[in-house]
């Protein structure tokens, strides 16, 4: 029986489907308690029921728009009241409302991308750290970045900017929070079969630009991210901080 996260409470944003749902299930399988969030309740309810059917009482859910600081605060209050002080945060929720040449993005799409992909995660980190420091508890923060944050991101330029900033934020916060025994790491997925990436996975020519360069030669599955997240959340990685773990089928080695 996997008990690597026994006694630990995690918040996973964007947990109603895809990578977030897979990570939440991985945490539950490792004995953790998990609060998942997203904007819409229906998907959260379905996901929580599915995980709890296999791992009873492991998951609760609350709607939360990561662009709204008040909703983020309410999410942390809910997690605390439901399971206790959260010590693990997975900043997975993200948006990519514009796909095309970088200079063509509207001001509204630009603002939304930065608000959800950076401002929301930063606010969540600030809330988690405040609670951990007050309780003098260790913690683990996992920021879900992307391979497009590690280089040029044609047609996804602004999204790539936010993911690059997330890697930078990870490194700086790791240095600033290490003395409080709070670790900060990132996971950078390659092309994963999710709704967010569907415009690429459903377009053969675009899909091949990724798979032809990937040594494993295929698109990844959300569940293939779960093990990396469990490792970074658990005490197995207690001497790991400030790192970005690329789970990309080898895409970035070429």
With 0-12 / 13-18 / 19 or more C-beta atoms within 10 angstroms meaning exposed / middle / buried, residue 20 is buried
Domains delineated in the chain:
9-246 (3.40.50.720)
What is the per-residue pLDDT for 198? 86
What is the per-residue pLDDT for 197? 83
Report yes or no on whether pTM surpasses 0.85: yes
Task: Tokens for 140, please give them.
Answer: 């683990």
What is the per-residue pLDDT for 254? 76
Catalytic one of 55, 159, 239, 251: 159
Instruction: For residue 192, give Cα distances in angstroms to 13, 19, 31, 131, 243.
Output: 17, 8, 26, 33, 20
DSSP string, 189-243: E-SBSSSTTHHHHTSHHHHHHHHTTSTT-S-B-GGGGHHHHHHHHSGGGTT--S-
What is the per-residue pLDDT for 195? 84
Asked if 13 and 37 touch (Cβ cutoff 8 Å), the reply is yes
With 0-12 / 13-18 / 19 or more C-beta atoms within 10 angstroms meaning exposed / middle / buried, residue 198 is exposed
- Rounded distance between C-alpha atoms, residue 108 and residue 96, angstroms: 12
What is the per-residue pLDDT for 196? 83
What is the per-residue pLDDT for 30? 98
How does pLDDT run along the chain (254 residues), one tens digit per residue? Answer: 799 999 999 999 999 999 999 999 999 999 999 999 999 999 999 999 999 999 999 999 999 999 999 999 999 999 999 999 999 999 999 999 999 999 999 999 999 999 999 999 999 999 999 999 999 999 999 999 999 999 999 999 999 999 999 999 999 999 999 999 999 999 999 999 988 888 888 889 889 988 999 999 999 999 999 999 999 999 999 999 999 999 999 999 97
- Rounded distance between C-alpha atoms, residue 62 and residue 64, angstroms: 6
Does residue 159 have an active-site annotation? Answer: yes
What is the per-residue pLDDT for 205? 87
Beta bridge partners of 185: 142
- Rounded distance between C-alpha atoms, residue 232 and residue 193, angstroms: 22
SS3 137: coil
DSSP string, 3-28: -TTTT-EEEEESTTSHHHHHHHHHHH
What is the per-residue pLDDT for 199? 86
Q: Could you tell me which of 58, 57, 66 has the C-alpha nearest to residue 38?
A: 66
């Amino acid at each position: 029986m996997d008990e690597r996260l026994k006694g630990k409470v995690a918040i996973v944003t964007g947990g109603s489907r895809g990578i977030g749902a897979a990570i939440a299930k991985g945490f539950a399988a490792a004995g953790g308690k998990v609060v998942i969030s997203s904007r819409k309740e229906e998907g959260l309810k379905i996901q929580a029921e599915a995980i709890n059917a296999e791992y009873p009482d492991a998951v609760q859910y609350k709607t939360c728009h990561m662009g709204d600081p008040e909703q983020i605060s309410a999410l942390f209050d809910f997690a605390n009241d439901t399971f206790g002080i959260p010590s693990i945060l997975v900043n997975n929720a993200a948006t990519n409302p514009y796909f095309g040449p970088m200079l063509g993005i509207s001001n509204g799409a630009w603002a939304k991308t930065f608000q959800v992909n950076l401002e929301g995660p930063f606010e969540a980190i600030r809330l988690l750290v405040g609670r951990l420091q007050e309780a003098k508890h260790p913690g683990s923060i996992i920021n879900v970045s992307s391979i497009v944050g590690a280089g040029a991101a044609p047609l996804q330029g602004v999204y790539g900017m936010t993911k690059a900033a997330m890697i930078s934020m990870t490194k700086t916060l790791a240095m600033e929070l290490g003395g409080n025994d709070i670790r900060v790491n990132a996971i950078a997925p390659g092309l994963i079969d999710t709704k967010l990436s569907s415009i690429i996975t459903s377009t053969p020519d675009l899909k091949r630009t990724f798979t032809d360069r990937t040594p494993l030669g295929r698109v990844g599955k959300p569940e293939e991210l779960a093990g990396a997240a469990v490792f970074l959340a658990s005490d197995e990685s207690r001497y790991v901080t400030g790192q970005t773990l690329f789970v990309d089928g080898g895409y970035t080695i070429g």
